[in-house]
């Protein structure tokens, strides 16, 4: 089965699979005028959430405040899958969750490691995801572009787009 067929069959499954394979994406707060920032994420498909470990001294966290809307965008390594996830984001005080997610990679960003008073856990409850998948075959893309150039009313057929909603969103 091709990746495009997998996407057509179950785009939500592909989203969680890609999130598990990727190390980072771009996170932005809807009310902020700042650019999106690269962030490592931790995905929780069962809860429909993403988690981020950062410092409470960042502009990103200051804009989150006690709750806001955020967008998190990712691209697969082979550039055949793209996602823009939207949902409520807030600072979490769940120490057990932070302990669960904590790693040597996270510790590298904080002097004193987990005990650094500026360690902050962000919780993003997903409400919607816009997903795009395309063929990874450059020959198929070239063929579709050639066909589209030969017909005035055609565009290349190289992928699919879908928007999914998450049942966990409040």
Integer Cα distance of 104 and 91 in angstroms: 22
Can you say how many angstroms the Cα of residue 35 is from the centroid of all Cα atoms in its chain?
A: 16
Higher pLDDT, 62 or 39: 39
Higher pLDDT, 167 or 69: 69
pLDDT at 99: 96
Residue 120, judged by CB atoms within 10 A of its CB (0-12, 13-18, 19+), counts as: buried
Tens-place pLDDT, residues 152-166: 676 655 578 899 999
Residue 159 dihedral angles phi and psi, to the nearest 5°: -175, -175
| Structure-token pair, residue 110 | 């904080």
Residue 163 dihedral angles phi and psi, to the nearest 5°: -115, 130
pLDDT at 12: 94
pLDDT at 157: 57
Which stretches within the chain are classed as H helix? Answer: 3-9, 11-21, 59-64, 95-101, 104-107, 138-150
Q: Report which of 129, 126, 135, 134 is spatially closest to residue 162, judged by C-alpha positions.
A: 129
CB 45, CB 91: distance < 8 Å: no
Tens-place pLDDT, residues 94-134: 999 999 999 999 999 999 999 999 999 999 999 999 999 98
Integer Cα distance of 38 and 98 in angstroms: 19
Tens-place pLDDT, residues 53-84: 999 999 889 888 767 899 999 999 888 899 99
pLDDT at 1: 43
């Amino acid at each position: 089965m091709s990746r495009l067929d997998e996407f057509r069959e179950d785009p939500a499954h592909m989203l969680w699979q890609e999130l598990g394979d990727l190390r980072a994406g771009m996170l932005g707060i809807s009310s902020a005028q700042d650019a999106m920032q690269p962030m490592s994420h931790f995905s929780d498909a069962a809860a429909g959430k993403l988690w981020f470990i950062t410092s409470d001294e960042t502009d990103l966290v200051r804009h989150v405040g006690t709750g806001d809307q955020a967008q998190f965008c990712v691209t697969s390594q082979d550039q055949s899958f793209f996602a823009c996830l939207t949902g409520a984001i807030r600072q979490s005080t769940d120490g057990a969750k932070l302990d669960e997610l904590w790693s040597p990679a996270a510790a590298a960003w904080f002097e004193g490691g987990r005990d650094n008073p500026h360690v902050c856990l962000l919780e993003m409850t997903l409400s919607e995801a816009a997903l795009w998948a395309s063929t990874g075959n450059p020959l198929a893309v070239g063929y579709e572009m050639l066909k589209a150039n030969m017909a005035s009313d055609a565009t290349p057929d190289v992928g699919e787009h879908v928007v999914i909603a998450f049942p966990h969103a409040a």
